[in-house]
Copies of this chain bind each other. A is one copy, B any other.
Amino acid sequence: MSLQHAILGLLTHKPMTGYELKSIFDNSVNYFWTAQLSQIYRDLGTLESKGYVTSQIKPQQGRPDKKIYSITPKGDGAFQKWLNNFPKKLSIAIRDEICLRTFFGSRIQLEELEFQLRKFIKEKQEVVNALRMMDEHTDHCKDNTSSEKIFFQRLTIKKGLLVFGAEIQWAEECLKELDELKG
């Protein structure tokens, strides 16, 4: 259900098309939430049928008409209700593929596992680099009008930096331990 709440939340910032929402998922919140375009359109449809959003068509030349979605008071109420109700159990499906691969490490060649851990580090390092840039960038915006939103955004960036940093640290420690195993 939370993707629908994420969409509602983003629409409280400003009315948007599905395409614009997708670019926000890809460029702004991708380190803690991802979504496929097909999912976004489907959920926008669901939200509209529930009366949580309304759409307005803006004709365009050369391209398909824009369909701009706005959150309704009803949708805002539903979002607010979700925000204020913490679930009994957080975080649904836990699926950590690098952990699964490591768990079955006795079935792989050590060199292959090391190779995979190094790839993992590389992938996480790229995310950390992007988050560092975001962090520096938002640091300049401390005192402008959207400072409150930025404050909370920076908290989530900090989480990414800490958690992905811990993942990298773990993988590096694994490589050390595997090295000792060989030597």
Contact = CB atoms under 8 A, between A and B. Distances in A.
Interface string A61-88: 0000000000000000001100110110
In this complex, which of A9, A31, A95 has the most chain B Cβ atoms within 10 angstroms of its Cβ? Answer: A95
A152 B113 CA distance: 11
Given A31-B94, A94-B32, A166-B166, A177 B148 contact: no
Interface size class of A (residues with CB under 8 A): 35 or more
Interface string A140-183: 00000000110111011011101101110110011001000100
Interface stretch (A40-48, A51-59, A97-105): A97-105
A19 interface: no
A33 B99 contact: yes
